[in-house]
């Protein structure tokens, strides 16, 4: 993955999630059909240590199940309806495993894997980072994957593994302990900085641009805001509406 190869990466946040149930195969397929540059997904672990693509720690709001994802085996999770909450026409959409999404994405689309803090434990050897890296390695997808997390232990473990995969930091104030993005980028040897649109101050933008540290901004669905973020020098935007962002990008770069 070369983050300097494009003016701007259009990143489908949990797939085309404004139109399809987030983090499902249908949402990712729709994003690919829209010709986005990258999909973003969230990873938790099942009870039997299978990386699954799901955002919430609890199942209650996005499935017909209840309780914690980590309390269900993969076979139990696969029985749940993960689509009806969004619209009845998506009834029986299933929770996907990371393997299923990566196998679909191979040689097709870049993937930002966000490892959720709820999946991270003190056990490094058999933890979520090791499981994700082993899967990426097995599928020979190192050049397609960007790993990110709000839990800085993930970045430390990826770095320690010497695995040839790109890393992005999701800014988390408490762990940052007053360090600015440029200092954090150096301390953790990251390849990109993922920022909430609310954190995008002029000072941080200048620091990141001056040091040529790629920054990706989430989650942006408004056209005017998309335009201003592109003009700030961002290398990517996460959006629930990839088709809207693609239109903005085409119009802006046509003018330039």
Active site residues: 13, 55
Q: Which residues, including other chains, have CB under 8 Å from residue 2's CB and lie 6 or more apart?
A: none
CB 220 within 8 A of CB 238: yes
Enumerate the H helices of the chain as residue ranges: 25-33, 74-77, 98-105, 128-138, 152-161, 173-176, 181-188, 202-210, 223-231, 242-255
Tokens 């990826």 correspond to 158
Strands 96-97 and 110-115: unpaired
CB 52 within 8 A of CB 46: yes
CB 205 within 8 A of CB 185: no
The three-state secondary structure class of 122 is coil
CB 23 within 8 A of CB 15: yes
- Note the residue count of the chain: 256
Tokens 């540290």 correspond to 213
Distance CA 46, CA 52 (A): 7
Distance CA 168, CA 201 (A): 19
């Amino acid at each position: 993955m070369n983050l300097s190869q494009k003016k701007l990466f259009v990143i489908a946040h949990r797939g085309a999630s404004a139109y399809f149930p987030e983090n499902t195969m249908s949402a990712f397929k729709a994003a690919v059909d829209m010709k986005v540059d990258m999909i973003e997904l969230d990873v938790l672990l099942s009870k039997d240590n299978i990386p699954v693509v799901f955002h919430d720690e609890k199942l209650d709001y996005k499935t017909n199940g209840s309780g914690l994802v980590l309390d269900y085996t993969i076979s139990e999770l696969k029985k749940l309806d993960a689509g009806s909450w969004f619209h009845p026409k998506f009834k029986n959409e299933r929770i996907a495993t990371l393997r299923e999404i990566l196998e679909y994405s191979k040689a097709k689309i870049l993937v930002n894997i966000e490892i959720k803090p709820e999946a991270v434990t003190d056990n490094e050897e058999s933890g979520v980072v090791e499981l994700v890296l082993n899967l990426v390695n097995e599928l020979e997808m190192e050049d397609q994957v960007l790993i990110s997390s709000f839990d800085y232990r993930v970045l430390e473990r990826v770095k320690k593994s010497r695995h040839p995969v790109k890393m992005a930091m999701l800014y988390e104030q408490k762990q940052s302990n007053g360090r600015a993005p440029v200092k954090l980028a150096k301390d953790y040897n990251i390849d990109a900085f993922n920022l909430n649109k609310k954190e995008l101050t002029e000072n941080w933008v200048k620091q990141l641009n001056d040091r040529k540290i790629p920054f990706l901004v989430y989650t942006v669905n408004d056209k005017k805001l998309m335009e201003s973020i592109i003009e700030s020098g961002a290398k990517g935007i996460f959006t629930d509406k990839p088709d809207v962002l693609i239109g903005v990008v085409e119009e802006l770069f046509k003018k330039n």
